[in-house]
Amino acid sequence: EPEVTQTPSHQVTQMGQEVILRCVPISNHLYFYWYRQILGQKVEFLVSFYNNEISEKSEIFDDQFSVERPDGSNFTLKIRSTKLEDSAMYFCASSDEGDSYEQYFGPGTRLTVT
Amino acid sequence: QKEVEQNSGPLSVPEGAIASLNCTYSDRGSQSFFWYRQYSGKSPELIMSIYSNGDKEDGRFTAQLNKASQYVSLLIRDSQPSDSATYLCAAEGNGDSGYALNFGKGTSLLVTP
C-alpha cells in the first residue's frame, strides 16, 4: 500500500541553524501539506502546496519557513534559523483530488532544537 | 477563530463495549470531516471521512455528522484493547480557504480487557 515517507526520523540541531525536513508523498497525489505537533499539543497546519506553489499557509508559517518540490518525488520544509520553540514533530501529508482530499500522513520527523 | 472541540478524556470502556467519541466545530463553512487515530509517539492515521449529514459505517466504525448542530461523532463497536489511542477530529475548509485540516486536541480512549 502506498505511503508517505519522511526523513530523517529524528533531527537534533542547535538554535540558529538551518534544517531541511524531507518527505516523499504518495506518488499519484497532487496536494502536499506540512503540519507540526508540539509535545502534548494538537496537530497544527503549517502550509499546503499544489501545482508547484503554496496554496495556503498559517500564521505559524512565517519568513523562517519555506517549502520546495525540488523534483518529481520530494517535498521539503526548510527552517532557516531554528528557535527553541520550533522543537516539535513535523508531519508531511498528501492527498489527491478523489475521495474528497483525504490526507494521509507520514511517520513524522522529530525536531529537537537545543 | 475556527475551533474544533473534543473532550480530552480519558474515556474508559471495557473490551467489547461501544466507545462514543464526540466533536464540535465552529466554522460553518467546513464541508468535510475526518477522524484520525494517533498512538503515542506516532503519526495520525486516517480512520474515516464524512461529508454528508447522517451516518457512515466502515467495519466497526460509524461516523455521524449533523451540520445544523455542528457536531461530529465516532462510534467504535466491539472495542478492543488495540483501539486504545488518542482520536483526533479534524474539519476541512471549503476550496476557497484551501484544504487545511483544523484538528481538535483529541480524546484519549482506553479499552480495558
pLDDT tens, residue by residue, A5-41: 999 999 999 999 999 999 999 998 989 999 999 999 9
- By residue count, chain A amounts to 114
**Smallest Cα distance from A53 to chain B, Å:** 13
Strand runs labelled E in chain B = 4-5, 11-14, 19-25, 32-38, 45-50, 54-58, 61-66, 71-76, 85-92, 101-103, 107-112
| CB-count burial class (<10 Å; 0-12, 13-18, 19+) for B58 | exposed
Q: What confidence score (pLDDT) does residue B2 get?
A: 80
Q: Given a cut of 60, is residue B95 above it in pLDDT?
A: no
**Smallest Cα distance from A82 to chain B, Å:** 22
> Cell 497546519 belongs to which residue?
A45
CB contact under 8 A, B102 and A45: yes
Cell reading at B70: 455542528
What pLDDT digit, counting tens, does each position of B14-71 carry?
Answer: 999 999 999 999 988 888 999 999 999 999 999 999 999 999 999 999 999 999 999 9
> For residue A109, what pLDDT band results from cuts at 50, 70 and 90?
very high
> Cell 506518488 belongs to which residue?
A27
Measured from the Cβ of residue B74, the count of other Cβ atoms closer than 10 Å reads 23
A41 touches chain B (CB under 8 A): yes
Average pLDDT, chain A: 94
Sheet holding B54-58, edge to edge: B4-5, B19-25, B71-76, B61-66, B54-58
Between positions 60 and 89 of A, the ones with CB within 8 A of B are 89
Q: Given a cut of 70, is residue A98 above it in pLDDT?
A: no
Q: What confidence score (pLDDT) does residue A28 get?
A: 87
Please compute the mean of the pLDDT values over residues B80-94 and round it to a whole number.
93
Please compute the mean of the pLDDT values over residues A100-106 and round it to a whole number.
89
Q: 3-class SS at A60? A: coil
Q: What confidence score (pLDDT) does residue A96 get?
A: 86
